Amino acid sequence: MDVYDSKDYRYARDWMKETLRLLDEEGHSSTVDLSDVYDHLSFAEYKLGNLKRAAHYTRLMLQNDPTHARAQRNVAYFEELIRTEPEKYINQDDERGEEGEGETAESRESMTQYERYQSLCRGPWPLPKEYDSELTCFYYDNHRTPSLVIRPVKVEVVFHKPRIFMLRGILSEREMDRLKELAGPILKRATAKNADSGKDEPAHYRISKSGWLSSKHDPLGYVDRIDRRIEDFTGLTMSTAEQLQVVNYGIGGHYEPHYDFGTDEASFTDGKDRNRIATVLFYLSDVELGGATVFPIVGARIQPFKGDAAFWWNLKKSGEGDMLTRHAGCPVLVGTKWVCNKWIHEGGQEFRRRCGLTPNEESYGHSL
């Protein structure tokens, strides 16, 4: 009922159909009224534009109660619509299909952004054919940076456009335990600015708890050490970066598609440290089921693996936001998910990462 009340008719339909299946299996129910299920199912189908199905379920309602006046009126109404606007409704029910039924490359093309996000969360999409021979992995010491000569970073290129790097085993168990321990007392329900009220409020599109770690509260120096490691493998200064942000998602926790960089003048783009040039996303836990990080525009998907980090550039060399980096944290279905963000800013990188000479220049070769 929750999804129905929140007008999420696609899911409402799925739940109602599951109810019908269980009723059928169990034969009866003392708490669920069959007619009520048909009634809601019919309205959900109507809202989804499937008039033939809406009419079908309303007729089933009438089988239970032939005198139901509203059901009689609705059947007449649906039939009238199908008759007067056949081109809009006649074949639609068969073509439209239902969520999850026979997803193909073509049907993916026509999905909305949000549907692509949901579909990617359910399972990986095949990588484009041209990736077959092109994904690489290497040990990386970033031009013989001393700490990395001793212990090079294991890098895997998992996507090309945008380039997404996985840094395997970049954090130790002890470091991850420490980050979670430091975050424990400061975790708060994540908020976002409400466009209407201007206040920071919990938002339905971001369900998690998070907290910012300051090295001041870490006398043992773990936070500084991790910052230094990021500086070593990216070659970027951390002096303008944000603090480490630890995030914990419970069951159902998620973060819907977004950009890490600021897309309007008000956020990041004008301050002295300017925009978020790159993201390092550490995975501090595995997730039993769900919880992948997905990039719905390009179809990339990263399953969290404890100790790894994902790295990507949010901005092109021109400083323009890379619109392909839109990404999301999928709902956690079983288990909990811990991640830690490091957002690196443009300020101070002028001599570390040169600008491009044309607005769209964006390729960085195979290294970070």
Q: Is 284 in the site for ligand AKG (CB under 6 A)?
A: no
Q: Which partner from the list ligand AKG, Fe ion, none does 247 bind, CB cut-off 5 to 8 Å by kind?
A: ligand AKG
Q: Tell me how long the chain is.
A: 368
Closest distance to ligand AKG from the beta carbon of 309 (Å): 11
Nearest CB to ligand AKG, comparing residues 10 and 306: 306
Nearest CB to Fe ion, comparing residues 40 and 326: 326
Closest CA to 330 of 246, 252, 247, 260: 252
**Start-end of H helices in 97-220:** 105-109, 113-122, 146-150, 173-183
Q: Which partner from the list ligand AKG, Fe ion, none does 293 bind, CB cut-off 5 to 8 Å by kind?
A: ligand AKG
Q: Which partner from the list Fe ion, ligand AKG, none does 339 bind, CB cut-off 5 to 8 Å by kind?
A: ligand AKG
Q: Is 222 in the site for ligand AKG (CB under 6 A)?
A: no
Q: Is 260 in the site for Fe ion (CB under 5 A)?
A: yes
Q: Is 322 in the site for Fe ion (CB under 5 A)?
A: no
Site residues for ligand AKG, 315-334, by CB under 6 A, read: 327, 329
Closest distance to ligand AKG from the beta carbon of 48 (Å): 30
Task: Report whether the peptide linkage leading into residue 162 is cis, meaning its omega lies within 30 degrees of zero.
Answer: yes
Q: Is 312 in the site for ligand AKG (CB under 6 A)?
A: no
Q: Is 339 in the site for ligand AKG (CB under 6 A)?
A: yes
Q: Is 260 in the site for ligand AKG (CB under 6 A)?
A: yes
Helix (H/G/I), strand (E/B), else coil: 230: helix
Closest CA to 245 of 142, 176, 341: 341
Nearest CB to ligand AKG, comparing residues 82 and 332: 332
Q: How far apart are CA 213 and CA 226, in angstroms?
A: 12
Closest distance to Fe ion from the beta carbon of 251 (Å): 20
How distant, in Å, are the alpha carbons of 84, 132, 134, 252, 295 from that of 124? 42, 16, 18, 19, 11
Query: Phi and psi of 94, rounded to 5°?
Result: -75, -35
The site map against Fe ion for 133-152 (x = CB under 5 A) is: --------------------
CB closest to ligand AKG, residue no? 329
Amino acid at position 185, single letter: P
Nearest CB to Fe ion, comparing residues 60 and 302: 302
Nearest CB to ligand AKG, comparing residues 57 and 313: 313
Q: Is 345 in the site for ligand AKG (CB under 6 A)?
A: no
Nearest CB to ligand AKG, comparing residues 234 and 341: 341
Site residues for ligand AKG, 138-167, by CB under 6 A, read: none
CB closest to Fe ion, residue no? 260
User: 29 CB contacts (<8 Å, ≥6 apart)?
Assistant: 22, 23
Q: In whole angstroms, how large is the CA radius of gyration of the chain? A: 25
Chain centre distance of CA 366 = 25
Beta bridge partners of 167: 155, 309
- Name the CA dihedral angle for 355, 360, 366, 368, rounded to a multiple of 10 degrees: 40
Considering only 21-29, 179-187, 257-265, 286-294, which stretch makes contact with Fe ion by CB under 5 A? 257-265
How distant, in Å, are the alpha carbons of 8, 9, 80, 85, 153 from that of 308? 35, 38, 58, 55, 11
Tokens (6 digits) for 186 = 């400061």
Q: Is 247 in the site for ligand AKG (CB under 6 A)?
A: yes
Enumerate binding residues for ligand AKG (CB under 6 A). Answer: 247, 255, 260, 281, 293, 327, 329, 339, 341
Enumerate binding residues for Fe ion (CB under 5 A). Answer: 260
